Amino acid sequence: MPEDTVTNVVFAGLGGQGIIKASDMLAEAAFRSGYDVKKSEIHGMSQRGGSVTSDVRFGREVFSPMVPSGEAQFMVALDSTQIDAARHVMRPDGLIFNPEMFLKDGQTFDDFDKNPGSPINRRNLNVALLGVLSTHLDLEESVWLEAVYANLPEKLHEQNAAVFAYGREVGKKA
Amino acid sequence: MTDTSGKNRMLLSGNEAVALAARDAGVALASAYPGTPSTEILESLATLGGPAQWAPNEKVAYEVALGAAFGGARALACMKHVGVNVAADPLFTSMYTGVSGALVLVSADDPGMASSQNEQDNRRYAPAAGIPMIEPADSQEAYDFLFTAFEMSERWKLPVMLRMTTRVCHSQTVVTPRAKGLDPLPTHFEHDIRGRVMIPGFARPAHRRLRAKLAEIYTWGETMPLHRRFDGSKKLGIITAGVCYVHAREAAPDASFLKLGMTYPLPYNMIKEFAKSVERCVVIEENDPYLVDACRAIGVACEGKAEMYRFDEMNVDRVRRILAHDESPEPVRPPGKPPQLCVGCPHRSALSVLKKLDCIIMGDIGCYTLGVLPPVDAMDSCVCMGASIGNGLGLRHVLPPDEARRVVSVIGDSTFVHGGITGLVEMAYNPPPTGHVVLILDNGTTAMTGLQDHPGTGVKLNKKQTHKLSFEDLARSIGITNVHVFTGVDPAGFEALVKQSLASEELTLIIARRPCLLSVKKQKAQPKAAAEKTNA
Ligand SMILES: Cc1ncc(C[n+]2csc(CCOP(=O)(O)OP(=O)(O)O)c2C)c(N)n1
Ligand code: SF4
């Protein structure tokens, strides 16, 4: 990416799905990589299941904390019903990552949730989608993992490293 | 979060930055009542081990902070925009008394009403009360400007307002804190009767003293380093402040800028000179035309924004439109999913019973206000914290008896402590002919703003136990004849109680006591979370 470009990522979903956590992890990874970072979301009512979006912007210098219309290169949607509410911020060639990208023919998330051996489930989709996103961004994998760990209790580190790696594999193939 | 590169850099929200600055600036006492978007300031300060405490409402918070500043300390009072309405009485006269130490009021406005009942622009308070006002644009400025606010307050012995907005409070941006903070000020009480006892004879000279100090601050402000000027293209000059500055810089990177750090008193000469230096001068601000009116009043030729942009937040798109004189309707975004009462929330069943009994429901502010939305559909008013009781009494006094008998006032526990107690006093003092029924939905927390404790929970901000206010005892001592506590989960039992209370035509307080589901979850999770922290 050219020096003066700002990377804009918008996260969209519903309260309780881990939107804020995921955007914290990206902001932290970019911050640890030495970038100027701004992250913005509206708190308040999100805990009661309403729509939540969070904007993360990083680059050499970032001004507004909110992504202007048509300027997001990426959207991480934790709930596909929420894509439309944030679509206006996407660049025409922007990429949208949503949970359905992990489903193979006929699979549902219930299949994942019920199977303890499954690499991902509904609760860790946020980290899995960050894994996908990470294959499109110029941030070191080790920094990503530091950022993921910094936002989770230690007993969840190993499991989420695997979830993140799974997301990366899916991202590389996509 | 802290940078690992060894540089002293942190990524903080504006609220966290204010909290860190408060600790670093040696604040001796910070008092607040929760309210979005200001709540996290005190919560973060408490996490940092700072002297933070919840007050029952904003008026008390401001008075406690003012008392600390009378004693020579640096004190902080934080509140959301409407909180300043509650604290306005002591605020205005504290400008006459001034302080011995230092006092900063944080007013957190909510343009766009992410979580508020109105969109008032608290910049209007600054000239009305005569309080100097400074406005940060991001977290670094929130950190730095709090120090400046304290320096100003100490120098002129006046309270100073740090005016923030939702985007500044909640956005995370990079902060480099000071290597060395300030030592706390020594505290001591010095009698100053003429200075602090505001009877008319002492207040008249005090008002003149305030105006003289503001004149000095004005002169200082003309040279103040918090104002920044960038000389870019002469074709376009933008006058702006706060978060609007970053939106405007992004929308018009080549323009010249006058970014105002202190927006009361305004640096009139600086503004005039800047405007003269550019061909086109535009004022970019959120909500009310506060800056543009002030510029025009001193004869500066400048453009403001069309009325359509008064509503809602400013952003980069809108600045572009304003600069292009684009007043076409803005694109309509698909509506997001609105928040709802949690499934199984105790407020749901209580409100449903009132709905079933065809009550006229004078409501209040809290999670239960979401009961106005389908499927509960049970609320007829929501004005400000505590209004339910007075509104209900007013209705009872004037409605025909058969309608008056259906009126109920519904209020949350935190809201009752904040602004409902005097309503209950009024009820006993001026009882309506048909009596009245007040329902406290006591879920044991301030749920709406993120589960804060309050005097009715008996727990302080630092989680230590303290005296627990008993609503029952209070109501009885006020003179309420019938006080019922309902802790059941059975809607039929609750319905019978409400019916009987409405029929009795007496003064009744029903306390429906069932914990908020989220707070129960949080309490269960807390000991675990603490253990996890020690592992890490
Ligand atoms: C003057 C003022 N201060 C603060 C707020 C923010 N606020 C809205 S509701 C509320 C309290 C809600 O608590 P409670 O009454 O216990 O109801 P719950 O949300 O727990 O149902 C607060 C602090 C406000 N609207 N107005
Ligand atoms: S947070 Fe608590 S009070 Fe609010 S809707 Fe959920 S259960 Fe009800």
Q: What is the mean pLDDT of chain B?
A: 95
B366: tokens are 């809290």
Whether residue B172 lies within 8 A of chain A, CB to CB, comes out as yes
What does chain B come to in residues?
A: 536
Q: What is the complex's ipTM, to 2 decimals?
A: 0.94
* Sign of the dihedral through C-alpha B47, B52, B57, B62: negative
CA of B333 vs chain A CAs: smallest distance (Å):
6
Give the integer Cα–Cα distance in Å for B305 and B298: 18
Give the integer Cα–Cα distance in Å for A149 and A161: 8
CATH fold, domain A6-173, is Pyruvate-ferredoxin Oxidoreductase; domain 3 (3.40.920)
At B536, is the pLDDT very low, low, confident or very high (cuts 50, 70, 90)? very low
Cα B367 to averaged position of ligand 1 atoms, centre (Å): 8
Which of the residues A32, A43, A89 would you substitute to probe the B interface, choosing the one with the greatest number of B C-beta atoms within 10 Å? A43
Which of the residues B1, B365, B376 would you substitute to probe the A interface, choosing the one with the greatest number of A C-beta atoms within 10 Å? B1
Using CA positions, which residue lies closest to atom 4 of ligand 2? B367
Q: Quick check: is B332 in a domain?
A: no
- Under 8 Å CB pairs connecting chains A and B tally to 126
Same structural domain, B202 and B86: yes
Same structural domain, B74 and B145: yes
Whether residue B256 lies within 8 A of chain A, CB to CB, comes out as no
Pairing between β-strand B255-260 and β-strand B160-165 as defined by DSSP bridges:
unpaired
pLDDT in tens, B70-128: 999 999 999 999 999 999 999 999 999 999 999 999 999 999 998 899 999 999 999 99
pLDDT at B330: 96
What number does the ligand 1 atom closest to the CA of B116 have?
Answer: 25
Listed residue (A81, A84, A118) closest to A103, CA to CA = A118
Per-position DSSP letters for B303-347, written without gaps between them: B---GGGGSS---HHHHHHHHTT--SPPPPPPP-PPP-PPTT-HH
Q: Quick check: is B138 in a domain?
A: yes
Cα B453 to averaged position of ligand 1 atoms, centre (Å): 12
Same structural domain, B184 and B212: yes
pLDDT at B423: 98
* CATH number of the domain within which B447 lies: 3.40.50.970
- Whether A42 sits inside 8 A of B166 (CB atoms) is yes
* CATH number of the domain within which B237 lies: 3.40.50.920
- Whether B336 sits inside 8 A of A41 (CB atoms) is no
- Whether A49 sits inside 8 A of B337 (CB atoms) is yes
At B187, is the pLDDT very low, low, confident or very high (cuts 50, 70, 90)? very high
Listed residue (A81, A78, A31) closest to A56, CA to CA = A31
Share of chain B above pLDDT 70, in %: 97
pLDDT in tens, B12-57: 999 999 999 999 999 999 999 999 999 999 999 999 999 999 999 9
Cα B249 to averaged position of ligand 1 atoms, centre (Å): 36
What number does the ligand 1 atom closest to the CA of B82 have?
Answer: 1
CB B424 within 8 A of CB B440: no
pLDDT at B333: 85
Listed residue (B469, B465, B487, B486) closest to B478, CA to CA = B469
At B2, is the pLDDT very low, low, confident or very high (cuts 50, 70, 90)? low
Cα B361 to averaged position of ligand 1 atoms, centre (Å): 18
CB A57 within 8 A of CB A36: no
Q: Quick check: is B412 in a domain?
A: yes
Phi, psi of A153 (to 5 degrees): -65, 150
**Into how many domains does chain B fold?**
3
- Whether B317 sits inside 8 A of A150 (CB atoms) is no
Q: Quick check: is B355 in a domain?
A: yes
The arithmetic mean of pLDDT across residues B423-438, rounded, is 98
- Whether A31 sits inside 8 A of B1 (CB atoms) is yes
Query: Is it the case that residue B188 has pLDDT exceeding 50?
Result: yes
Q: Quick check: is B530 in a domain?
A: no
- CB-CB neighbors (< 8 A) of B331 in chain A: 69, 88
Query: Is it the case that residue B528 has pLDDT exceeding 50?
Result: no
Query: Is it the case that residue B401 has pLDDT exceeding 80?
Result: yes
H/E run at residue B523: helix B517-535
pLDDT at A125: 95
Same structural domain, B123 and B144: yes
pLDDT in tens, B326-363: 999 999 988 888 888 998 999 999 999 999 999 999 99
Same structural domain, B216 and B236: no
B207: tokens are 């008002």
pLDDT at A108: 84
- CB-CB neighbors (< 8 A) of B369 in chain A: none
Q: For residue B385, what are the contacts with CB-CB under 8 A and spacing of at least 6?
A: B57, B86, B364, B365, B415, B418, B419, B420
CA of A131 vs chain B CAs: smallest distance (Å):
21
Q: Quick check: is B278 in a domain?
A: yes
Q: Quick check: is B499 in a domain?
A: yes
Q: Which ligand is nearest to the CA of B516?
A: 2
What number does the ligand 1 atom closest to the CA of B441 have?
Answer: 21
Pairing between β-strand B255-260 and β-strand B228-230 as defined by DSSP bridges:
antiparallel
The arithmetic mean of pLDDT across residues B445-467, rounded, is 97
Find the domain containing B58 and state its range. 10-221
Same structural domain, B312 and B383: no
The arithmetic mean of pLDDT across residues B438-453, rounded, is 97
CA-based nearest residue in chain A for residue B250 = A63
Instruction: From B340, B414, B469, B511, give the residue whose CB has the most ligand 1 atoms within 8 Å, as the site to mutate.
Output: B414
Same structural domain, B386 and B510: yes
DSSP code at position B9:
-
Same structural domain, B75 and B144: yes
Share of chain B above pLDDT 90, in %: 91
Give the integer Cα–Cα distance in Å for B373 and A143: 44
Q: Which ligand is nearest to the CA of B445?
A: 1
Give the integer Cα–Cα distance in Å for B17 and A170: 38
Same structural domain, B164 and B240: no
Q: Quick check: is B107 in a domain?
A: yes
Same structural domain, B235 and B210: no
Tens digit of pLDDT at every position of chain A (174 positions): 455 699 999 999 998 899 999 999 999 999 999 999 999 986 545 457 788 999 999 999 999 999 999 999 999 999 999 999 899 999 999 999 999 999 888 888 888 888 888 888 888 999 999 999 999 999 999 999 999 999 999 999 999 999 999 999 999 987
pLDDT at A113: 82
Q: Which of B323, B356, B381 is the last residue of a domain?
A: B323
Q: Which ligand is nearest to the CA of B371?
A: 2
Query: Is it the case that residue B529 has pLDDT exceeding 70?
Result: no
The arithmetic mean of pLDDT across residues B131-148, rounded, is 98
Listed residue (B393, B479, B421, B368) closest to B60, CA to CA = B421
CB A20 within 8 A of CB A54: yes
- Whether B171 sits inside 8 A of A153 (CB atoms) is no
Give the integer Cα–Cα distance in Å for B110 and B116: 7
| Domain assignments of chain A as residue spans, ordered by start | 6-173
pLDDT at A150: 97
Q: Which of B201, B221, B241 is the last residue of a domain?
A: B221
Per-position DSSP letters for B180-235, written without gaps between them: S--PPPP------HHHH---HHHHHHHHHHHHHHHHHHHHHHTT-TTSEEE--EEE
Same structural domain, B74 and B102: yes
Same structural domain, B240 and B207: no
The arithmetic mean of pLDDT across residues B264-271, rounded, is 98
